[in-house]
């Protein structure tokens, strides 16, 4: 057997490392895609920006019309 021949042990290790690498990358891609989908589903999100804004102030009930 030639000296540079790869031992079975190393090919098995490579199989594990490559497999785990692919799984982790796929997981990252999945979470990213999921984030995009979830954010799009949530509609527009506005956070408080230290400035009163009409779109963020609570809606006051309309005054009753006088009879």
Partner 1 sequence: MTDINAYETAPEAEFGDYVALLKPRVMSLVVFTAFVGLWVAPVDVHPFIGFCSILFIALGGGASGALNMWYDRDIDAVMNRTQGRPIPSGRVQGTEALGLGIVLGLISVMMLGLVANWFAAGFLLFTIFFYAVVYTVWLKRWTPQNIVIGGAAGAFPPMIGWACATGGITVESLLMFALIFFWTPPHFWALALFMKEDYHKAGVPMLTVTHGRRATRVHIFAYTLVLAPFAVWLGLTSIGGPLYMAVAVVLNAAFIRGGWQIMRRAEDEAVADGYAVEKRVFKLSLYFLFLHFLALLVQGWIGGW
> Which residues here bind partner 1, judged by CB under 8 A?
8-9, 11-13, 15-16, 18-20, 30, 33-34, 37, 41
Our CB check for partner 1 shows the closer of 17 and 56 to be 17
Query: Min. distance of Cβ 16 from partner 1 in angstroms?
Result: 5
Distances (CA, A) of 59 to 8, 15, 31, 43, 56: 70, 60, 36, 19, 9
Q: Enter the DSSP assignment of 9.
A: H
Our CB check for partner 1 shows the closer of 12 and 56 to be 12
């Amino acid at each position: 057997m030639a000296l540079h021949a790869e031992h079975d042990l190393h090919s098995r290790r490579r199989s594990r490392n490559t497999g785990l690498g692919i799984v982790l990358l796929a997981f990252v891609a999945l979470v990213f895609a999921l984030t995009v989908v979830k954010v799009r589903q949530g509609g527009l999100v506005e956070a408080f920006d230290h400035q009163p804004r009409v779109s963020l102030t609570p809606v006051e009930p309309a005054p009753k019309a006088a009879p």
